[in-house]
Amino acid sequence: MSKKLLIRDLTLRDGQQSLFATRLRQEQIDRVLPFYKSANFYAMEVWGGAVPDSVMRYLNENPWTRLQTIKKAVGDVSKLTALSRGRNLFGYTPYTDEIIDGFSRHAIESGLGIMRIFDALNDINNVKSTIKYVKQHGGIADCAVCYTIDPEPEIKEKPVAVEEKKGFLGKLFGKKDQAPAPAAEPAFKPVFTDEYFLNKAKDLEKLGADMITIKDMSGLIPPMRVAKLISEFKQNLQIPVDFHTHCTPGYGLAAVLAAIVNGVDIVDTNIWTFAGGPAAPAIELIYVFCQKLGVELDINMEAVAEINKELVNIRKELADIDAGKQFPNPFNPLTDTLPAEIDALFNKAIDACKKGNEDALITACQAIEAYFNFPKPNKLVQTAQVPGGMYTNMVAQLKALKSEDILEDAMKLIPQVRIDAGLPPLVTPTSQIVGAQAVNCAMDVKNGKPMYTNVSNQFKSLVKGEYGITPIPVNPDFREKICGHRDERPFDTSTYKMQPNPTLDEFGGIKLAENEEEVLLLELFPMVAKGYLMGVKKAAWEAKKASEPQVETVTKTAKAEAKTISGETIVTPLPGRLLNYLVAPGDFVKIGQPVAIVEAMKMENTITSTHEGYVNNLVVGVGENMAAEAVIMDIVSEPIAKAVQEKPKAAAKVTGPTTGVTVPMPGKILDIQVTPGDSVKAGQVVIVLEAMKMENSITAEVGGTVNEIFVEVGETVAADTKVFDLV
């Protein structure tokens, strides 16, 4: 076999996202860039996906600076690649052509060479504009077809008696006579056929795609199906074909080998220490296969080895968020000799691949990975059909929330939630939306409540039809249950409004977003960017003030007082961070009334009161993390004096009974849409809460006038936290 294979390195984007929840700091990336300049990869995926969000949210870094810094260091040696969600770009909202145009232009001006464009629903209409503007501004439009599979047969079965379906379903549905069928039961005829994927690819080529990627974000594609799809794509398309997969369920290495043998033009890999498991296969193993196949790899493997040396140190630095903490055994294909039995496994894999013996191919490749101590196949991920990055993020977030015990139940619910929502492929943002909703549903069941008691705004939008056309129709009954209407309602970009860009008088009268880069961040990540930019402006202002002559002042710090619990307690049913309270001490609350907003798994959840009476103490501080069932307040039967607030409010307070507004889930306050003195109607959105990266609109259950607001934007609150009260 004589052929040249191109390599797209994923280490600095998908690799770190799959293994380390996208926590690589710029300082760490800077240490490997000199070696990347010598490595000669065709492309380097360094941006997009979760990178722009995470570097602001967790690292307090500028996403544009990351792209520009890498471009400056690497130059034109490798094309820099980003991952874009079509009309959603990097966010969760469909954007106007004006924003897509400006974003594409600025990304390419900042150093981007290839934009990998995909839509989570494989809805071709959602990628048209991005293709147009990326090409218009000189970029390469790499259009991805998202690979997924139909649900497992048991999901399609008719309801059965609970005693016949024991275990999780028995626990889930209790003692009912039958386990209810999914709200949107799919047809028995398969949806995701080879013809389905090929037709999508043809449509993308007609729209102007410069290359096509088979994007197997969950590692679900077995090698012989890869072989067939690659062959059909090469026969029917006139543009290069790339293959992207993950190793999570155990197919990754075998699937990439099958793609190479069947003529793929480009494959996606990671460098050794950031490869395997939830990530893509290692370039070092692909190098060995290519040497045996006679396939040319124009890669400087000496430079790759130097990168890997530094990656070992970096991975040790990321130990606290390392999903697997399993380092592969050291290996350099240029200097290390393989044992005869392992070398034979490479030959056996190639022979099995050429003969179409899938079982032998998978067995040989998994034995190779086991020898080098890469993670074992994760069958739970395979069954739930989730991307590796989604899985590791769920693990990391649930661990932070001290609720790892809910993981298995949430994973088992993912297929059902997916069917209910129209069978979307699980890739960002649908993976996050469905995964977070599965966690919410698992929490609902654990707490004895019906599934879908807590629903994120994004899940509502998906079911409503705002993200596009789903592979199968959403059951109108289910849509009515979640959205309040039976008909599909697509998103109308003509109603889109630009994000507010206020003048910050407290920081010298500057704008929150002062240039195009910052305006785009504010549009793509409204709440995260708002907090990030506010911090940047505050730091700049304080630095400026620090350079001026200072007048010594005395600051009094209030000491925290221990809370005495004397009434009925309200707890958070979900683990998370307290974003906001909707009630204050002295407020009268009713059973079922929202009392707090809690962020859980990046989704916002409204916590409601389980008792009627007057709020006595708010136990958890805004911004604090809590385990499930943590007490956040207590309710007493007699009115108490209102607590003295540290900060003056914009309106006078009343001393009589009030009605508190609360959140049903842990999360972070993204927006407060009322002020003291405002008149509020029942059902009106008053708070936006983030939980698991999803935004949840919290509404007032009753009408009234806003009395006091007890939280601030950016604060983390527990479930059932009171955020303000009404009179």
Starting at the earlier edge strand, list the strands of the sheet with 685-699. 625-626, 576-581, 594-600, 602-608, 685-699, 668-672
Closest CA to 361 of 478, 285, 243, 252: 252
Residue 487's Cβ-count burial label (10 Å; 0-12, 13-18, 19+) is exposed
Residues 424 and 123: beta-carbon distance below 8 Å? no
- The two three-digit tokens of residue 408, written as one number: 């298995």
SS3 assignment, position 70: helix
Local structure of residue 89 (DSSP, 8 states)? T
pLDDT tens per residue, range 310-319: 999 999 999 9
Strands (E), 527-672: 568-571, 576-581, 588-589, 594-600, 602-608, 613-618, 625-626, 631-636, 659-662, 668-672
How far is residue 213's CA from residue 259's CA, in Å, rounded to a whole number?
A: 12
- The two three-digit tokens of residue 601, written as one number: 């798994």
How far is residue 490's CA from residue 465's CA, in Å, rounded to a whole number?
A: 5
pLDDT of residue 526: 86
How far is residue 524's CA from residue 235's CA, in Å, rounded to a whole number?
A: 38
pLDDT of residue 384: 64
pLDDT of residue 43: 98
pLDDT of residue 23: 92
pLDDT of residue 645: 39
> Which domains does the chain possess?
3-151+186-327+334-379 (3.20.20.70), 391-494 (1.10.472.90), 503-541 (no CATH), 568-726 (2.40.50.100)
- Measured between its terminal Cα atoms, the distance across the chain in Å is 79
The residue with tokens 């409503």 is 464
Rounded to the nearest 5 degrees, what angle is found at the Cα of 138, between the Cα atoms of 133 and 142?
A: 70
pLDDT of residue 160: 35
Backbone torsion region of residue 578, taken as left when φ is above 0, otherwise alpha when ψ lies between -120 and 50, otherwise beta = beta
Q: Residue 617: beta bridge partners?
A: 634
pLDDT of residue 326: 92
**Which residues, given as ranges, of the chain have pLDDT below 70?**
1-2, 92, 152-188, 383-390, 392-393, 396-397, 400-402, 550-564, 579, 599-605, 623, 640-656, 665, 691-694, 719
* Secondary structure element (H or E) that encloses residue 563, with its range: none
Residue 306's Cβ-count burial label (10 Å; 0-12, 13-18, 19+) is middle
pLDDT tens per residue, range 639-658: 765 443 343 344 446 666 78
Greatest CA separation for the chain? 84
pLDDT of residue 505: 92
Residues 358 and 224: beta-carbon distance below 8 Å? yes
